[in-house]
Amino acid sequence: MTSPRVLVEIDGAVAHVILNRPDKLNGVDLEMLRGLVAAATSLRRNREIRAVILRGNGDAFCAGLDFASVMERPAGVVRSFLPSPLRGTNLFQRAHWVWRELPVPVLAVVHGRCYGAGLQLAAAADFRYSTPDCEWSVLEAKWGLVPDMAGTVPLGELVAPDVAKRLTMTGEIVSGTRARELGLVSEVDENPLAAALSFVDVLATRSPDSVAASKKLLNETRGGRPRRAFRIERRLQFAMLRSANAKIARTANFAKRDPEFGPRKWRR
């Protein structure tokens, strides 16, 4: 029996979403794309979850698209490439963009290789924790292609325009340390999972509603017109002022004690 391409393990308020093709360095195939969408869809309904850790089993986070496997089913590729009229994304894009839409912080914990589809998945996360020697590459250039798994939007937000063009046009491989210098990586650590979980502890001291709303606010206002940003600010702040978790935060602060928040109530 084939093991699931994507594993979901819940540890308290943290969900670990694990790419599970270690024999293929977690190369992405159609089943993995569907597994990523299914995992995010399931986690979206869980209001107890405070953060999601994306990581890979074995020697790599993700070595990119498994062309050999995917091209064995050309009809499936064609169907998966067609965009949904409702969402405007196809399966390849949806499997990455869905983490951007999840109303909790998503942290990619990266080691070994982070190529192509793997880099685009990590870029879609809110934070990226990497080992110093991890190899990062927008590898599509090697195949005469462009990145097409929704990764170009966050990539363009994370690094300067000339850096994004350089990485995309050349497909050069950079280390985790260099990726941090370029702005692609949030933090470099020999134990990136421990570093990520330490940050999750910090996030857990804040209202799950305000954390979710902050993610939406910054994602939707970046690069947009100020007037639209102000409108989104007002709408989200009004929702936060009425939220039960905001009341818990206020009461705890006035009493000079740590707040004990309830589950996320706010709906995106």
pLDDT digits (tens, 9 = 90+) for 28-44: 999 999 999 999 999 99
Between strands 135-137 and 113-115, the pairing is: parallel
Listed in order, strand segments (DSSP E) in 24-122 are 51-56, 106-110, 113-115
The pLDDT score that the predictor gives to residue 45 is 92
The answer, yes or no, to whether residue 76 has pLDDT greater than 80, is: no
Is pLDDT of 205 > 80?
yes
pLDDT of residue 128: 98
Helix axes 244-254, 208-221, angle to 10 degrees: 120
CA dist 103 and 51 (Å) reads: 9
Task: Specify whether the CB–CB gap between 199 and 127 falls below 8 A.
Answer: yes
Per-residue confidence (pLDDT) for residue 75, from 0 to 100: 79
- Percentage above 90 pLDDT, the chain: 85
Mean of pLDDT values over 76-82 = 81
pLDDT of residue 246: 95
pTM, two decimal places: 0.94
pLDDT at 1 over 60: no
In this predicted structure, the answer to whether residue 198 has a pLDDT above a threshold of 80 is yes
Residue 25 half-sphere exposure, CB side, CA atoms within 13 Å? 16
CATH fold group of domain 6-203: 2-enoyl-CoA Hydratase; Chain A, domain 1 (3.90.226)
Confidence check: pLDDT of 2 > 90 = no
Out of 46-50, 85-89, 231-235, 237-241, which region has the weakest mean confidence (pLDDT)? Answer: 85-89
Nearest of 95, 110, 118, 124 to residue 31 by alpha carbon = 95
pLDDT at 149 over 70: yes
Can you give the pLDDT at residue 79?
84
CA gap 164, 159 in Å, rounded: 6
Distances (CA, A) of 163 to 98, 167, 246: 25, 6, 40
Name the β-bridge partners of 83.
none
Cβ–Cβ < 8 Å for 21, 117: no
Q: What's the chain's average pLDDT?
A: 94
pLDDT at 50 exceeding the cut of 80? yes
